[in-house]
Amino acid sequence: MAETTNELWAAVDEYLEQSVVHEDEALRMARASIAEAGLPQISVAPNQGKLLFILARLQRAQRLLEIGTLGAYSTIWLARAVAPTGRVVTLEVDPTHADVARANLGRAGVADLVDVRVGKALELLPDVASLAPFDLVFIDADKPSIPDYFRWALKLTRPSALIVVDNVVRDGALADPTSADPNVIGVRRLHELLRSEPRVSATTIQTVGSKGYDGLTIAMVNERQ
Ligand code: SAH
Ligand code: DHB
Ligand code: MG
């Protein structure tokens, strides 16, 4: 049995994977290939991947944008939600991560649906604008840039689109105004921006699981008045 709180959270995530989530072979292989390639094991958890899938399906999404690909674990979930006619654009700064991602997308049978672009997201986004409007944007790259990515997402989405931001609670440091951690400052600036942003209706949900204590923001772009 789990000995510590974190082990208990991980055990429940494992149970959820086996009961409700059901990763298939391609998703399991993607996770394994990320570990084998020595990439950081910071992909979304299986139950979070499935949440992205459900949100994208709810949106009847056809155009998705992801910022931060890693090994394409989350990208596979998103691509499956838009198959066979939709498209996913995903931005990744590290060419090694992008190679692992392309291999995983190929094994999952969704390579044709996904455009992996390599570079700093803030430098790629001006070109990505030609593919807008997006139905869902998933922000999951470097955390200090979250406010900038969120402003881009606002620019590139249609009314009723969703903007989802990962890793915004950070072991509770989100509520610490004295934090000097640039990642924490990034997620606090996002929440300051949301306080006075009339174009979205947003909420943030705290989560625990195999990735520890964190959370995600879900912002819905309001219909234009
Ligand atoms: N979304 C993935 C996890 C992404 S991890 C999943 O859940 O499966 C964060 C990724 O963002 C890393 O691969 C990292 O290299 C990338 N990244 C960091 N800074 C970036 C930047 N400025 N532009 C684009 N990608 C960046
Ligand atoms: C980190 C990044 C992530 O996107 C994540 O889900 C967990 C951790 C990180 O940079 O440490
Ligand atoms: Mg993340």
Per-residue pLDDT band for 173 (boundaries 50, 70, 90) equals very high
Per-residue pLDDT band for 198 (boundaries 50, 70, 90) equals very high
Does the reported pTM lie above 0.95? yes
Tell how far the Cα of 108 is from the centroid of ligand 1, in angstroms. Answer: 20
pLDDT at position 224 is 78
CA distance 17 to 13: 6
Could you list which residues have their CB under 5 Å from ion ligand 3? Answer: 140, 166-167
The tens digit of pLDDT for each residue in 11-24 reads 999 999 999 999 99
The tens digit of pLDDT for each residue in 58-93 reads 999 999 999 999 999 999 999 999 999 999 999 999
pLDDT at position 1 is 62
Q: Are 206 and 215 in contact (CB under 8 A)?
A: yes
Share of the chain above pLDDT 70, in %: 99
Tell how far the Cα of 211 is from the centroid of ligand 3, in angstroms. Answer: 9
Nearest-atom number in ligand 1 for the CA of 39 is: 13
Fold of 2-221: Rossmann fold (3.40.50)
DSSP assignment, residue 112?
G
Nearest CA to ligand 2 atom 7: 42
Nearest CA to ligand 2 atom 9: 42
Tell how far the Cα of 48 is from the centroid of ligand 3, in angstroms. Answer: 10
pLDDT surpasses 80 at 2: no
Closest CA to 79 of 107, 45, 38: 107
pLDDT surpasses 70 at 57: yes
CA distance 130 to 107: 29
Distance (Å) of CA 78 to CA 54, 114, 126, 164: 9, 10, 22, 12
| SS3 annotation, 212-223 | EEEEEEEEEECC
